[in-house]
Amino acid sequence: MTGEGLLARAFCHETDHLDGTLFIQHLSMLKRDSIKRKIKKLMKAGEW
């Protein structure tokens, strides 16, 4: 199947699910570390 725009993005998202790939794995190491720090901060505050 092929798709354009939002449909193409949905195909990629669902294919990632089937392959076991998480969104965070598509990010650079710097961005990934930043997000992980934010999540840890939220967890510590009891908001996650």
Does residue 14 have an active-site annotation?
A: yes
Closest to 24 in 3D by CA, of 46, 3, 5, 39: 39
CB 48 within 8 A of CB 41: no
Helix runs in the chain, H state only: 6-19, 29-44
3, 8, 10, 14: the active-site residue: 14
The catalytic site residues sit at 14
